[in-house]
Structure 1
Amino acid sequence: MIVNVETMKKCEEKSNLSNLELMEQVGFKLAIEIMNRHQSHDKIIVVCGKGNNGGDGFVLARVLFEKGFNVKVIPLYQELTTIEASQQLKLLSKKCFLTKNQDRYEEILNADVLVDAIFGFSFHFEIPSECKEIFKTYNQSQAIKYSIDINSGAEADSGHIASDALTSTVTFALGYKKIFHVLRKDHFLFDECIVIPLDIAKCEESDIIEMTDEQFIQSYPKLREDTYKGMEGKPLIVGGCYGMAGATVLNIMGAQAVGSSYIHVACDDKIYNILSSQQITPVFHPFTNDTVGSVLKELFPKVKCISFGSGATHLESKKIIFELLLQQTNCPVVLDAEGIRCLQNNLYILKLIRTQVILTPHLQEFADLVGMSIDAVKTNKLVLAKEFAKEYHVILVLKGPNTIVVSSQGEVYINQTGNSSLAKAGSGDFLTGIITGLVSQLNDPFYATIMAVWLHGKAADLIVTHRHPRQVSIDDLKEAVSQFFFEHC
């Protein structure tokens, strides 16, 4: 289960445990974790903040001290902000604190083990100026490092990471993983995340959706004995242009990989021969600038999902296609690449249509779409993605190391599959085909999109178990998808 801060607080409140009791439980369980990993003579430094996260650190230090471990505490603030943290501070032996002659910066640099108990899940914005030198020194240390719940300097819900946020060898997620933990590929602040179970109320629901092998297999539509062509959904792929016909080929491969048995492809007649020589099973509908309208209008009632934009950079009729898709279709529309660029300065159009639109931008495309720098997007991408999906009533697939899928209702999926083998030209076109194929087969476009993103990454993960990421091709990805279905579906 992945929870946001609000849900976590509700779980704690329903547990009928006081903050002091929770603090005792957390500190004791963390102490056991550290004692199992280290020797009593190891030099352990616990750096504590002024709130409840600092209180957890005080309990941890007290338990370690009572068990004979060499532990010291560095409180960063003289005044604490919670009664519970103040109570825990008073219970610490004076021997746990550095003497006046000990330099805290030197102690941090020379520590064997460092524990970050500074800021918890309530942290926002930037690191206070009075802490910056300590944070820099902490990150310079070669010690084994642990963070309690959230690495200090990171926001639990938004994905925002402040400059000089603390790194860790292990981050102990308390109770449940938070959004921060599943965005690891974006920030790499920790090497490993370990969930510490707490005796709190069980979280029954979360807005953060997860996907596993079992969930995918259960949700993937099964073939009936009386199945005939087209029952698995009829997708329509529109796109490509002279010089970029390969993008459409990859769209087709993606739709084929997820079992689409009747694929329509509308393409500029300049690339028809190229496409038909590469793919022989789709039904092709070549068009010219003069005939594109009539060709598409005839196809719209026959299909269940349409994708547009992959490889359409120089397509002469792209604006005509774009307007037709948003004005005269009833089925879901997947906009990729040039389809997304057609929205620039025209976002208001999305508020005027009834068709379910699925956008698949990478970070730079999204930054261009919202008129922000890519750095600004990276530091707050989850919040921006949710706001965008809600305002424009779309399903947003924000591609990146941890691809995010967001619905207009605020539901969030943060993908955990995939690796660097996907960071190559054509990977996104293949994904667009997978999305189009699955959406055409399932009644829930949002869940189908999640399944597509998960499967795309899962295929890459299966390949890199026996091949270097640089050597992975789109053909390999398609073969991996086929192998997954053969073994599980």
Structure 2
Amino acid sequence: MKIITVKDMYEADRWTMEEAGLDEIVLMENAGAALASSIQVGEGNGRVILAGKGNNGGDAIVMARRWAEQKIPFSLWLLCPPEKLRSAPRQHLNAYVAAGHSFTVLAPDTKELLAEELNVAHLIVDGMLGIGTKGAPREPYRTILQWANHSQAIRIAIDVPSGVSEDIHQGEVFKATRTITLQAPKTTAFHPRWTSFYGQVEVVDIGLPDKAFEKVEVRRQLWGQEQVRRTYPKRAPDAHKGTAGKACVFAGSFTMPGAAVLAGKAAIRGGAGLTTIVTPKSALPLIAPSLTEATYVAASDEDGHFSGELPALGSFDAITVGPGIGRRKGSALLVDQLLEAENVPLLLDADALYHLSEDVSRLKRRGSPTILTPHPGEMAQLCGVKVQDVQTERLNLSRRFCQEYGVFLVLKGPHTVVTTPSGEQFVNHSGNAALAKGGTGDVLTGVITAFMMSHGSVQAALCNAVWLHGKVAEVLVEEKHSLTDVTASDVIDGLPSVLRTVEK
């Protein structure tokens, strides 16, 4: 499913109306009908519909007419004089009135009544402001948003919560329990500033032809279970450890042996046929007893860390470097040498990204696939910007970086973004706050390492690994854990049950 910007949606609407000949009145009727059937109205009274002057208001008016015809009680509030409505919403209001239904216009003498209704409401539908909003909401919307957010009601937003904007601001925003998005999810749903305001997101079809979006260059899409099942490879009946992929993981140090254990275990659980851990000699006795399925190479050691001397290695199908290697000169030298490795995919994570940030131009010399897996802090260091800048421009910054340096990027966080060298982007929507724990990133690195060897496409490997990692966290919390007690080892232990559902 494609993820679209305001500009994309406007262009798709334009093509649908001008080229396909579907009138705006029809599209608004479709939207209102979809909303009316999607919202569970519950029992009793206390339903308040808030309609602004734009198209979201028109969608709300159509929905209100549908509810009225079904004898569902509600109060419809028009937040501007009827003559201020745009053309299509005004025509639908005329139809609503012609059908014998009533509404209330916000005015100085009705303002207190609205406040009272919102205070006792059990359902509030937000059709106030739409995707074209710029900047913080002004009055009367600011006060109405405050009233709605203080209510104990279920809060449903139409398309986007009112106040959400592609322009970042700190003003009032409708805090939705659920957002019913029209036709396609919007990029703002995945922005750190706005994600929490969306609540649960549902996408409904309002009748725009697929071709409308073909006319718009949309290169962002959601990646979920459907896409995972379609792209996840089946293991051949005659597979053996050699054909399942040989992984080499440079990880660990005397002070951080656990990172190597977690990444190695996850790679093995993820399907790697043979996994070799390269670690400093003094760290090996700390790692090997906890990871008996791997083989080991003891690297030369300097005070418990890599000395920088690259040990003699055989051939591998994927190389990973970073978890727990530290930030000393020896590990920096190690990263330098591995960046020169040809004809093998290379994944850089954690401390390897720190060393890479000293000169990211080295990435341009790579001939084989290169994968970076930064969290926002590491991404900020790679780009030479502040973390806030990364969070504000997650999608655009990731795309520019990948296109400039020719790499695959996994920008971690809620709604992890996978970006390809060509700039295509895939947004993950599995996972929860249980993953906010040290070591879970090492687990993801291990799973990606395994999937890089089993999948024919690097992009599918990254997207599937990210989804699986997040889905495990969801299952753990659903079945036996809380959001606070999940550990990285729990995530590894939870991989088999989710993998089993994917492989069926």
Q: Indicate the SS of the match to 1:119.
A: coil
The amino acid across from 1:245 in the alignment is P
CA contact (8 A) 2:224 2:430 kept: no
- Deviation string, structure 1 residues 177-225 (Cα, Å, up to 9, x no partner): 3344567997222443333332332468763444454643553443334
Match of 1:234 among 246, 271, 281: 246
Match of 1:277 among 273, 289, 292: 289
Match of 1:429 among 442, 447, 450: 442
Superposition deviation, residue 432 in structure 1: 0.6
CA contact (8 A) 1:161 1:379 kept: no
Matched with 2:492 is 478
Matched with 1:337 is 350
2-structure distance, mates of 1:85, 1:244: 62
Match of 1:135 among 133, 145, 151: 145
The amino acid across from 1:55 in the alignment is G
CA contact (8 A) 2:254 2:282 kept: yes
- Deviation string, structure 1 residues 326-354 (Cα, Å, up to 9, x no partner): 22333222111111111334233333433
TM-score normalized with structure 1 length: 0.86
Which residues of 2 match residues 265-414 of structure 1 at below 5 A? 265-288=277-300, 295-296=310-311, 298-299=312-313, 302-414=315-427
Q: Indicate the SS of the match to 1:73.
A: strand
Would you say 1:110 and 2:85 are equivalent positions? no
Would you say 1:24 and 2:29 are equivalent positions? yes
1-structure distance, mates of 2:170, 2:108: 32
Superposition deviation, residue 19 in structure 1: 0.9
2-structure distance, mates of 1:217, 1:79: 51
Q: Indicate the SS of the match to 1:194.
A: strand
Distance 1:472 1:62, change over 3 A: closer
2-structure distance, mates of 1:35, 1:473: 37
Distance 1:404 1:106, change over 3 A: farther
The amino acid across from 1:480 in the alignment is G
Distance 1:150 1:283, change over 3 A: same
Q: Indicate the SS of the match to 1:116.
A: strand
| Larger mean Cα displacement after TM superposition, 232-241 or 69-78 | 69-78
1-structure distance, mates of 2:444, 2:107: 60
Matched with 2:176 is 168
1-structure distance, mates of 2:234, 2:106: 69
Q: Indicate the SS of the match to 1:479.
A: helix
Distance 1:124 1:346, change over 3 A: farther
Superposition deviation, residue 248 in structure 1: 0.8
2-structure distance, mates of 1:369, 1:70: 53
Superposition deviation, residue 252 in structure 1: 0.5
Match of 1:248 among 252, 260, 266: 260
Superposition deviation, residue 310 in structure 1: 0.9
Match of 2:57 among 54, 59, 81: 54
CA contact (8 A) 1:127 1:162 kept: no
Q: Indicate the SS of the match to 2:356.
A: coil
Q: Indicate the SS of the match to 2:478.
A: coil
The amino acid across from 1:198 in the alignment is I
Which residues of 2 match residues 191-270 of structure 1 at below 5 A? 191-202=199-210, 207-213=219-225, 215-217=227-229, 219-270=231-282
Which residues of 2 match residues 66-85 of structure 1 at below 5 A? 69-76=73-80, 80=84, 82-85=86-89
Gaps spanning 5+ residues in structure 2: where? none
Which residues of 2 match residues 447-486 of structure 1 at below 5 A? 447-469=460-482, 470-486=484-500
Superposition deviation, residue 11 in structure 1: 5.3
The amino acid across from 2:206 in the alignment is L
Would you say 1:121 and 2:131 are equivalent positions? yes
Superposition deviation, residue 415 in structure 1: 1.7
Count of equivalent residues? 483
1-structure distance, mates of 2:473, 2:298: 33
2-structure distance, mates of 1:128, 1:345: 45
- Deviation string, structure 1 residues 79-98 (Cα, Å, up to 9, x no partner): 85843234445556495233
Distance 1:71 1:241, change over 3 A: same
Distance 1:407 1:92, change over 3 A: same
Q: Indicate the SS of the match to 1:168.
A: coil
Distance 1:408 1:147, change over 3 A: same
Which residues of 2 match residues 144-183 of structure 1 at below 5 A? 144-155=154-165, 163-181=171-189
TM-score normalized with structure 2 length: 0.83
- Deviation string, structure 1 residues 410-432 (Cα, Å, up to 9, x no partner): 22222222223322111111111
The amino acid across from 2:471 in the alignment is K
CA contact (8 A) 2:228 2:502 kept: no
Superposition deviation, residue 454 in structure 1: 1.2
